[in-house]
Amino acid sequence: MAQFIKVANTGDLTPGSGKLVEVDGKPIALFNIDGHYYAIDDTCTHRGGPLSEGFVEGEQVTCPWHGAQFNVKTGEVVDPPATQGVTKYNVRVQGNEVEIEI
């Protein structure tokens, strides 16, 4: 059964930034896009780069290793070299707590 797990506080991420969080040892990239929070797998499907360390512009994050781009809302590939998207997680905010559904 799915459950929401607290991973951060709203003040931990400034708008337009990403952060690595871990849930049960799984690395997940959490993003703040204009005050809305989104979560996708942290590992780029091209060569395993850390998406949480990527450059965020609008709804896209660019992998810092080889430049693959992903939509942070959907996990879909926007621009190669990656050809496969990453998993997207549901996020909710309760007060100032950011939670991811696992």
Is there a contact between 59 and 69 (Cβ–Cβ < 8 Å)?
Answer: no
**Which domain, by its residues, includes 33?**
4-101
CB 17 within 8 A of CB 32: yes
How many domains does one find in the chain?
A: 1
**Whole-prediction pTM value?**
0.94
Pairing of strands 88-89, 36-41: antiparallel
The Cα–Cα gap between 85 and 44 comes to: 8
What span, in angstroms and rounded, lies between the C-alpha atoms of 35 and 18?
12
pLDDT, one tens digit per residue, over 49-90 is 999 999 999 999 999 999 999 999 999 999 999 999 999 999
How many other β-carbons are positioned within 10 Å of the β-carbon of residue 26? 14
Q: Between 2 and 21, where is the model more confident?
A: 21
